[in-house]
Amino acid sequence: MKYALLLIATILFAAPASAEDYEKGPNGGLMLDVAGIDAELMTSGNTVTFNIFVPNTPKPVSTKGYTGAVLIASGNGRETVTLTPQGENSLKGDAKNPIAAGATITLTIKTAEGKSGQAKFKK
């Protein structure tokens, strides 16, 4: 019985992030914690935007000095898009094609302070 409980606990804690793990961002997008900040995913057509916030608050963080890229995987296609700072607290890039529903978007980001991290979003 102990082994069965241990196995169940291991499976539960090892499960990948699901839709319930996302927070809803201030602009209605999916948001995850990465590199000590909250990154909110927004897409429109072929444009991907990440709005950056102080964790657990709607307070924007300046993206000056930030670098980032995304890997967009959909069906058989994969594309890497470089993100550049836009406006006060955003990183933005344009894919060659519209970003399809169900696409997996993997963000790689480096903050102005040198912290880096990755987060995977499912559109």
pLDDT at 5: 41
Amino acid, single-letter form, for residue 119: A
pLDDT at 99: 93
Tokens of 7: 């196995």
Among 68, 52, 41, which residue's Cα sits nearest to residue 123? 41
Question: Contact at 8 Å (CB) between 48 and 72?
Answer: yes
Report the top-level CATH class of 20-122. mainly beta
Q: Which residues of the chain have pLDDT under 70?
A: 1-20
Strand, coil or helix: what is 76? coil
What are the domain boundaries of the chain?
Answer: 20-122
